[in-house]
Amino acid sequence: MQDQAKAAGWEKPVPTALLVMADGTVIEGFGFGAPGKAVGEVCFNTAMTGYQEILTDPSYAAQIVTFTFPHIGNVGVNDEDVETVDSDRVSGARGVIVQAPATEPSNFRAQKGLDAWLKARGMIGLYGVDTRALTALIREKGMPNAVIAYAPDGEFDVDALKAEAASWPGIDGMDLVPDVTAKQDYGWTATTWRLGEGFGEQQAPRFKVVALDFGVKRNILRLLAEAGCEVKVVRATASAAEILAEKPDGVFLSNGPGDPAETGKYAVPTIQKILEAKIPTFGICLGHQMMALAVGAKTMKMHQGHHGANHPVQDFTTNKVEIVSMNHGFAVDPASLPSNAVETHKSLFDGSNCGIALTDRPAFSVQHHPEASPGPQDSHYLFARFVEMMEKHKAA
């Protein structure tokens, strides 16, 4: 009877991938991408587009991304939409969870399918999961530590996977920047992409900007170059003396992964000296948290974090509401901001802090990602604001 059921296709297929959580919960599904296993923090992302940029964003280091949108992979992948600067270095999410398997890509820019791309990057995929139920679980209990595992033969040591998930310490208290920062300093000249033209090249810069790399995304660097900046990217451990020796018109503090308080142990003293020198400074994401720490504020771990491309944020300097892209599991505690740090942006979802400006220094930062273009360009004005700040500084 069992053989007849199998021949008729009635037999339940054997799961080839698992998500094993630290509390012992096991979610079964089917694997794609690279076989293997990886441990990380499970988050959910509500974006309907941009999955390639999300999975290659260094800010997702040590995380397993669950997409709430069911049709992930339908437009394939290409070489132009990768956000990791070093293409030879795989940094970004450790795994991906989707509801349905990706179909053949149907986009003129696609160079390969999601499955083959994940396999080439060594990233594990899990499909056949009720991602909305998993999202509801995360909203209720917070982002769990878990192991994602894919074995084509369906053979797993579940007890060992449970033990690995339970023993992983989690991102809270973890400095992940050394895994994603530049190995050596470099210059950046590429500007934004245009249909039929590809990426441009900055040839007549008006300002020199040093970007402190905590896990910077390519499109941030492109928009800085597009705004008229000659960009020098330096590693996260660069000293203030090294940065100031470049005689920059401005300093940029990049996005990145991990616990900001841990990264701040070596980055904050550098940022404090830059601020003391009154060099115009602009921070995004982890860079925002670093600036807040540098002026004495505190950061805190969020329950479920903000991950998506549909977050409403209000800019109090204009009173306008913009739709932004977010990716963070930590936030600045607004109650801890000193008197010289004014809150400029706030999330309209939960009221969390999304931006500050210093009243005694030419410096500001935002928690969201203005370069990710979900609005699509609601927040691009922030790069113009940085340029205006550098113009005033040079004129003075």
Among all residues, which ones are annotated catalytic? 285, 369, 371
With H, G, I as helix, E, B as strand and everything else as coil, classify residue 325. strand
Instruction: Give the three-class secondary structure for 367.
Output: coil
Fold of 177-395: Rossmann fold (3.40.50)
pTM score of the predicted model: 0.95
Which tokens in the block code for residue 390?
Answer: 């550098």
Integer angstrom CA distances of residue 263 from 14, 267, 294: 43, 6, 11
The encoded tokens of residue 292 equal 């807040």
Cα angle vertex 220, ends 215, 226, to 5°?
150
Q: Identify the segments of the chain with pLDDT beneath 50.
A: 1-2, 4-5, 8
Give the pLDDT confidence score for residue 7 in this predicted structure: 52
Alpha-carbon distance 194 to 80, whole Å?
11
Distances (CA, A) of 196 to 52, 70, 373: 21, 30, 19
- Contact between 177 and 59 under an 8 Å Cβ cutoff? The reply is no
| Domain coordinates in residue numbering, the chain | 10-167, 177-395
Identify the helix (H) or strand (E) that includes residue 363: strand 363-366
* DSSP β-bridge partners for residue 369: 325
Structural contact between residues 351 and 311, judged by C-beta atoms closer than 8 angstroms: no
CB 374 within 8 A of CB 310: yes
Residues 6+ apart with CB under 8 A from 94: 38, 39, 40, 61, 62, 63, 64, 123, 124, 148
Q: If residue 346 lies in a helix (H) or strand (E), which one and from where to where?
A: strand 341-347
Angle subtended at Cα 166 by Cα 333 and Cα 264, rounded to the nearest 5 degrees = 30
pLDDT at 88: 59
What tens digit of pLDDT does each residue of 90-144 get? 679 999 999 999 889 999 999 999 999 999 999 999 999 999 999 999 999 999 9
User: Do the Cβ atoms of 45 and 66 come closer than 8 Å?
Assistant: yes
CA distance 55 to 124: 11
What kind of architecture, by CATH, is found in domain 10-167? 3-Layer(bba) Sandwich (3.50)
For 145-203, give the secondary structure using H, E and C.
EEEEEECCCCCCCHHHHHHHHHHCCCCCCCCCHHHCCCCCCEEECEEEEECCCEEEECC
Q: Fill in the amino acid letter for 73.
A: G
Q: List, for residues 60-80, the tens digit of each pLDDT value.
A: 999 999 999 999 999 999 999
